[in-house]
Structure 1
Amino acid sequence: MSKKLIKSGLIVSVMTLISRVLGLVRDVVIANVMGTGIMADVFLFANKIPNFLRRLFAEGAFAQAFVPVLSEYQVKDELHAEQEQSKNNHDETRLLIAQVSGTLGVIVTLVTLFGMIASPLFVMLFGFGWFIEWFDDAPGGEKFTLASNLLSITFPYLWFISFTALSGAVLNTMGRFAVAAFTPVLLNVAIISMAIYGAPYTQSPAHALAWGVFLGGLIQFLFQIPFLYKSGMLVKPKWAWHSEGVSKIRKLIIPALFGVSVTQINLLLDTLIASFLITGSISWLYYADRLLEFPLGLFGIGIATVVLPSLSKLHSKNNPIEFNATLDWGLKVVSLFGWPALAGLMVLAQPIIMVLFMRGEFSQQDVIQVSMALFAYLSGLLSFMFIKILAPGYYARQDTKTPVKIGIIAMVANMVFNLMLAPFFGYVGLAIATTMSATLNAWLLYRGLKAKGVYELSLSTITFIGKLILSAMVMALVVYQLSSDFDVWLTMGFFEQVQQLTLCIFAGVASYLVMIVLLGIRFSDFKVISK
């Protein structure tokens, strides 16, 4: 089991790395073309709404509800094949996929059509500050009109990505993680291509990027179909609202909408409040969030992707010991990579932002503004990662009621924190509030698992994490000594900046590895996950 998990985790992480690198390239292109002005704020807003709904209908709540039920059906098919001494033909699993895809398809189609037609309503709801400016004919009112137009173009992305997530969940459950992990690369390629080659043929760079989102969704959807066919899981969708499998998923998905999407809801609340703040606030938060998402997606989401199917099958087979050990393994792995990522980004935030984005319309002042938001987000990096590992501990056991209660508490806390901090710290206050609510969310998730006797941090795991924190602190000190002051970085040419940054990163990684070895951490600590 451990070797299989490690191999799967590496596959997902490598594919995710490719996607995240291209994601950074995409953000570099966006920063160069639009900077952090009105057009950038509007496009990032129009892209955020379908992405939020994607988390609800696709990769987030739906996946958390669908994967455990799908795993249960696969176990049934395997047991049936053993009893009949025949080849496993996945009859029950194929039927479930047909029923879910048909039912989900009707719902998502209606939501997508409504979103395209009612895009001004969504802009008014989540960008109310822009609506007021438009209604009063105040300066900046054009944001509302442009956002409504762009949102009608990006909204179909929801339809494409919902089915992409469905097929990805099926392939992941079958142990074919590479396909689903690679798929997001295609979205980034589409957006980058449209930004570079499509802008001359559209009304504005923002329109070109919006069409890039549309095409990216379509290409991702088409890409996975051959792999489903090869796996024997490409089935004809059918409406089955009242079928056993769909009914079970329905009951799980409604509370999961809150439980797994709290972070996204919090980010939307940030966007709503940011629409009342100075121009650039949404863009500064976006670029800071993108840098945070690099380690979070690479390690947190990557490990969580392979942990959920494993936990679901262990629960179906009534194996609580390995269930506990798998959660422990997940937390150890994200801690191994999370703490040095936190330390390194804290020390090198401004040089990294400078090297990646400071060109074209992206100014020196933007570097400072983004770094302030990034500092706030980074303080919650491990909380975000732990949520990705702890939440599947509930969903794998088909318990979605507990996470929804925790999610509501965290969301309300975030709203309170926003109102407390935004008047004094502006957009940075929004980032601090998101971090505080995520930390609360992670703590409550852990406390709930501990109270149910599902999982508890052992003294050895706490000691292990303590050693990682100490190693990351030493790494931060080494990098700080090697790094130059901000003013000195500004005087360097681009290639000199890259050279200096590379030196700092390699020195940091080397010092971290030396420290963890000196403190007695070995690869064997991650090999055995069963007790």
Structure 2
Amino acid sequence: MKKTVFILMLITIVSKILGFARDIVLSYFYGATDISDVYLISMTIPTVIFALIGKGISVGFIPMYTRIENSEGADKALHYTNNVINLVLAICTIIFIAGLIYTEPIVKLFASGFKGDTLDLTVSFTRVTIVGVYFSGLNYVYLAYLQIKGVFIIPTIMGFPANLIMIASIYISSHENIYFLAIGTLVAVFSQFLLLFIFSMKSKFRYKFTLDFKDQNIRKMSLLALPAILGTSVVQINLLIDRTLASNITEGGIAALNYANTLSVVIIGIFVLSISSVLYPKISKLTAKNKMDEMKLVLSGSISAVNILVVPAAVGCMFFAAPIVELLYGRGHFDAQALVMTSNALFYFSIGIVALSHRETLSNTFYSLQDTKTPMINAALAMVLNILLNIMLSKIMGIGGLALATSISTIFCTFLLLIKLRKKIGRMGLKKVSISFMKIAVSSLVMGGLSRFIYDHLTSKLNIASSLLLSVFIGAVVYFIMIYFLKIKEVDLIVDEIKVKFKAGKENKVVKA
């Protein structure tokens, strides 16, 4: 598992760099303007619409497939998979038709501040990108199928071709026709679908038209999926409210919020999704076999592992919000106002990064226990808090207030999930996890303060990139030295494993000699 997670992290880092490149190219050619807002909304609408159903499908699919394969065999599990796929295609067709008929009201729902030419252009873009709902929908099923089959690399690299296509479309649109932005988005989603479909076929998937609404397995999956769908809809409603309010605050507000969110979410993409994509099927199998003690060990270990990586990254984003944004986006049409808006949003998003990282892991644990109701209720409570905070803080702090509202509601939601899980499965080593968290937090703050001190003194002698990289490197070295000497269990295990491998390598060299 550790080796798989490490490989996934490396691939995800490269993928996220490409994702960054896409946003950097967008900010260079279009900055934080009405065009970038139009592009982001038209790209978001099909994704968000199906994410409501897609998350429920992926959550319900894995435990149901595992149960069917164990009890009835691989053929029945394949029949079930095809039934789900054809059901998804039927749902996508309904969404597609509704999206074409009601495009303008849907756009107004996502960006109520859009008027005139901006609104018309978004409607035109959305009528192109809505076709992608078919590919987005099927991707959820194929992703879940490949996870069950232990194929984690392909889902991780699916962002490679998509990001390259989107980068090319942004560049071409700036020189040719602006509609290449919408076309590029559609082609990018198709490339992801094609990659997943090919490797699903290599993993013994065979498509067959089967559509049986009365299938008991579909009904059971629906019962599991419904609360997850409602829970996910809460997340999407939060996103919708954030972007609607941003569209009313200032031109380019949606783009600034998106740039900052991309920077904060990339940390979760690199460290957390790499772990959770491996962890969820593993926890599901341990739960199905009633190996609860082993499952708790895996869970507590993953929480601490996430803390070791995410806490310092979050602190670093807070200390270096403005330099990071300036280094990555500060060129082309990305002006001083865009820099201020984006760096403020990044700072406040960073406050909730750790909580957001754990929410994914905790929610998946509930799903593996076939409890989709608890995450749904918690997400609903967080949504109410987020809406209230959005309205209040956006009036006081603008775009930064929207980001802070998201962070506070995320921390609230994650804390509730942790309490509920503790009540549900009993002791899970939270005292040890809390102690290691405090050690990590102290080390991270020392790292952040030292790095910022060094950066402030280097900027007068070096350029921003060299100053930032050097100060962060020194801070990271100090951080890892501190957590090693503070005797954090997970760090000690990693160090011991490195020593064993190093010793084995030396012995192999001696034998060969």
Q: CA deviation at 1:53?
A: 2.6
Q: Of residues 279, 284, 298 in structure 2, which corresponds to 1:307?
A: 279
State the SS of the aligned residue for 2:425: coil
**Residue 336 (1) aligns with residue 331 (2):** no
Which residue of structure 1 lines up, in the alignment, with residue 500 of structure 2? none
1:195-210 matches, within 5 Å, as 195-202=170-177, 204=178, 207-210=179-182
1:432-511 matches, within 5 Å, as 432-454=404-426, 456-484=428-456, 496-511=463-478
Which residue of structure 2 lines up, in the alignment, with residue 87 of structure 1? none
Q: Is the CA contact 1:340–1:472 (under 8 Å) kept in the aligned structure 2? A: yes
Q: Is the CA contact 1:288–1:377 (under 8 Å) kept in the aligned structure 2? A: yes
- Per-residue CA deviation, residues 290-322 of structure 1 (Å, 9 max, x unaligned), is 100110111122222111111111111111112
Q: Is the CA contact 1:260–1:403 (under 8 Å) kept in the aligned structure 2? A: no
1:290-301 matches, within 5 Å, as 290-301=262-273
Which residue of structure 2 lines up, in the alignment, with residue 64 of structure 1? 59
Q: Which one-letter code corresponds to 2:119 in the other structure?
A: F
Q: Which range is displaced more, 223-232 or 291-300? A: 223-232
- Per-residue CA deviation, residues 57-84 of structure 1 (Å, 9 max, x unaligned), is 33x332122122122223335xx6xxxx
How far apart are the structure 2 equivalents of 1:192 and 1:354? 20
Residues 1:314 and 1:270: Cα distance change in structure 2 (over 3 Å):
same
Residues 1:260 and 1:310: Cα distance change in structure 2 (over 3 Å):
farther
Q: CA deviation at 1:275?
A: 2.1
Residues 1:53 and 1:477: Cα distance change in structure 2 (over 3 Å):
same
1:67-216 matches, within 5 Å, as 67-76=62-71, 90-130=74-114, 134=115, 141-202=116-177, 204=178, 207-216=179-188
Q: CA deviation at 1:498?
A: 2.0
Q: Of residues 14, 29, 33 in structure 2, which corresponds to 1:18?
A: 14
How many residues align structurally? 495
Q: Which one-letter code corresponds to 2:286 in the other structure?
A: L
Q: Is the CA contact 2:112–2:244 (under 8 Å) kept in the aligned structure 1? A: yes
How far apart are the structure 1 equivalents of 2:402 and 2:381? 17
Q: Is the CA contact 1:11–1:177 (under 8 Å) kept in the aligned structure 2? A: no
| Structure 2, gaps ≥5 residues long | 497-513
Q: Which one-letter code corresponds to 1:97 in the other structure?
A: T
Q: CA deviation at 1:409?
A: 0.9
Q: CA deviation at 1:393?
A: 1.2
Normalising by structure 1, report the TM-score.
0.89
Q: CA deviation at 1:427?
A: 1.8
Q: Is the CA contact 2:58–2:144 (under 8 Å) kept in the aligned structure 1? A: yes
Q: Which one-letter code corresponds to 2:184 in the other structure?
A: G
Higher relative CO (Cα under 8 Å, sequence separation at least 6) belongs to 1
Normalising by structure 2, report the TM-score.
0.92
Q: CA deviation at 1:492?
A: 8.7
Residues 1:198 and 1:422: Cα distance change in structure 2 (over 3 Å):
closer
Q: Is the CA contact 1:329–1:526 (under 8 Å) kept in the aligned structure 2? A: no
Q: Which one-letter code corresponds to 1:22 in the other structure?
A: L
| Structure 1, gaps ≥5 residues long | 81-89, 135-140
- Per-residue CA deviation, residues 81-105 of structure 1 (Å, 9 max, x unaligned), is xxxxxxxxx1122111111111111
How far apart are the structure 2 equivalents of 1:258 and 1:457? 30
- Per-residue CA deviation, residues 163-190 of structure 1 (Å, 9 max, x unaligned), is 1221121111111100111112221111
Identity %: 28
Q: Is the CA contact 1:263–1:438 (under 8 Å) kept in the aligned structure 2? A: no
How far apart are the structure 1 equivalents of 2:6 and 2:96? 35
How far apart are the structure 2 equivalents of 1:319 and 1:237? 37
Which residue of structure 2 lines up, in the alignment, with residue 7 of structure 1? 3
Which residue of structure 2 lines up, in the alignment, with residue 218 of structure 1? 190
